[in-house]
Amino acid sequence: MKSLEQIVQKIILNGTLTECPGLFYGKTGMAVFFFHYARQTSNNLFRNYAFDLIEEIQEQITSTTPIRYDRGLAGIGVGFEYFLQNGFIEAEDSDFFEDFDERLYRAALYEPYPDLSLEGGLTGLGRYFIFRMRSNGHKDSNIHKGLTHIAHDISRKIKHKKVSEKEQPDVFRFFRDLTSISEYTEKYARTLQQCMAWNCIGKPDIQKLFPYMHNLQRLHVCQNYFNVDLTEEIEKEWREWEKSGKMEIPNQVREGKSENNSQPDMGLLMGLAMEGMLQLTLQHKIDISWLNLL
* Domain range list for the chain: 1-69+262-294, 72-203
Mean per-residue pLDDT, 128-140: 87
pLDDT score of 21 more than 50: yes
List the one residue out of 15, 5, 47 whose CA is nearest residue 268.
Answer: 15
Residue/partner pairs of 192-196 with CB below 8 Å, 24 or more apart:
194/158, 194/159, 195/158, 195/168, 195/171, 196/172
Mean per-residue pLDDT, 30-43: 97
Q: Is 42 left (phi over 0), alpha (psi -120 to 50) or beta?
A: left
pLDDT score of 95 more than 50: yes
Mean per-residue pLDDT, 88-113: 86
Residue 75 is inside which H or E element, if any?
helix 73-85
User: What is the model's pLDDT at position 260?
Assistant: 47
- C-alpha span between 294 and 281 (Å, rounded): 15
pLDDT score of 259 more than 80: no
What's the pLDDT tens digit per position in 170-223? 999 999 999 999 999 999 999 999 999 999 999 999 989 999 898 999 999 999
Confidence category of residue 262, pLDDT binned at 50, 70, 90: very low
User: What is the model's pLDDT at position 11?
Assistant: 92
User: What is the model's pLDDT at position 92?
Assistant: 67
Q: Which residues contact 183 (CB under 8 A, 6 or more apart)?
A: 133, 139, 144
Q: Are 144 and 133 in contact (CB under 8 A)?
A: yes
Percentage of the chain modeled with pLDDT above 90: 75
User: What is the model's pLDDT at position 96?
Assistant: 74
Percentage of the chain modeled with pLDDT above 70: 91
| Alpha helix positions (H), 180-263 | 182-185, 189-196, 199-202, 215-225, 231-244, 251-260
Which of 105-119, 253-267, 279-293 is the most confident on average? 105-119
What's the pLDDT tens digit per position in 226-250? 988 999 999 999 988 888 766 666 6
* Choice among 60-64, 95-99, 199-203 with the minimum mean pLDDT: 95-99
pLDDT score of 264 more than 50: no
pLDDT score of 144 more than 60: yes
Phi/psi at 236 (nearest 5 deg)? Answer: -65, -45
> What is the residue-averaged pLDDT of the chain?
90
User: What is the model's pLDDT at position 93?
Assistant: 54
Mean per-residue pLDDT, 132-160: 92
pLDDT score of 292 more than 50: yes
Confidence category of residue 149, pLDDT binned at 50, 70, 90: very high
Helix (H, G, I), strand (E, B) or coil at 95: coil
